[in-house]
Amino acid sequence: MGDDILSYNGGVALAMKGKECVAIACDKRYGVQNRTIATNFTKIFQYSDHCFVAFCGLATDVQTVSERLKFRTNLYELREQRKLKPVVLYNMLTNLLYERRFGPYFVFALVVGLDPKTGETYVYDSDNVGAVSDNVNLATVGTASEYIFGLGELFFKPNMNSDELFEATSQALLNGVDRDSASGWGAVVYVIEKDKITVRELKGRQD
């Protein structure tokens, strides 16, 4: 586990793209170094019909940043009288994180979204100071990210339908967290399509 602040509480999240669908998944462990305190701490938050963000890192900052971002997005929706687009959400998040460049929040983030009119998919990742990434096929953050990168690259293929996408995301996450002691204790996968969001709780090793 180490003394690294980002692995103090553990946790991991993964996002993958499909054809007109995106999946975002996270584990459910909340721990304090080697002790597991809770097994229902999901790290995925919804900001719009089709926009989700996952935060991994120090748990207090996961909660603070998700709520601060909610504040900003709520004001945006009230002022603009329209729903948030994934790119806008991503820019708001990276601005929030970069504002604290010299006293950063200890969270890495994943932003996923779908445009319901065009079916265009968005997956972005950010480090803890808001480094901007391009729209990628696969992204993962958290303590088990190194293991999940490998599995994700293996299972990912372009233009998957929602069932294939769900299987690929779930297997990459479950097998990755099995090799990391700081994450696990179940998983949740959100598959976002134009007309529906399917939330599935996965059966995983409870250790």
Partner 1 sequence: MSGLAFEQPTGGFVFDNCRRNELLLSNGVLPGKIHKTGTTIAAITYKDGVVIAADSRCTSGTIIFDDNVLKIHRLSDNIYALGAGTAADCDFQTRLLESQLELLKLNQDRQVRVATAVRKIQQHLFRYQGHLGAYLIIVGVDVTGSHIATVHPHGSIAFLPFVASGSGGYTSLSVIEDRFKENMTEEEAKQLARDALYASTTTDLYSGSRINMYVLTKEKLDKFLPYEVVGVRSDKQNDYTLAKGTTQVLSTNVKKIEFDIVNEKVKTTTGTHEAMELA
Q: Between residues 37 and 161, which has the closer beta carbon with respect to partner 1? A: 161
Q: How far is the CB of 163 from partner 1 (least distance, A)?
A: 5
Q: Judged by CB under 8 A, which stretch of 16-24, 34-42, 177-185, 195-203 contacts partner 1?
A: 195-203
Tokens of 31: 């721990």
Q: How far apart are the first and last CA of the chain?
A: 15
Tokens of 87: 């790119």
Measure the CA–CA gap between 160 and 121, rounded to whole angstroms: 12
Residue 17 has, within 13 A of its CA and on its CB side, a CA count of: 22
Q: How far is the CB of 168 from partner 1 (least distance, A)?
A: 6
Q: How far is the CB of 30 from partner 1 (least distance, A)?
A: 18
Length of the chain: 207
Which 35-94 residues touch partner 1, going by CB under 8 A?
Answer: 49-50, 57, 68, 71-72, 94
List C-alpha distances in Å: 152 to 95, 108, 136, 166, 173.
Answer: 28, 18, 12, 12, 8
- From candidates 36, 77, 87, 202, binder to partner 1 by CB under 8 A: 202
Interaction site with partner 1 (CB under 8 A): 2-6, 8, 49-50, 57, 68, 71-72, 94-106, 116, 125, 127-134, 136, 145-146, 149, 154-155, 157, 163-164, 166-168, 170-171, 174, 186, 194-203
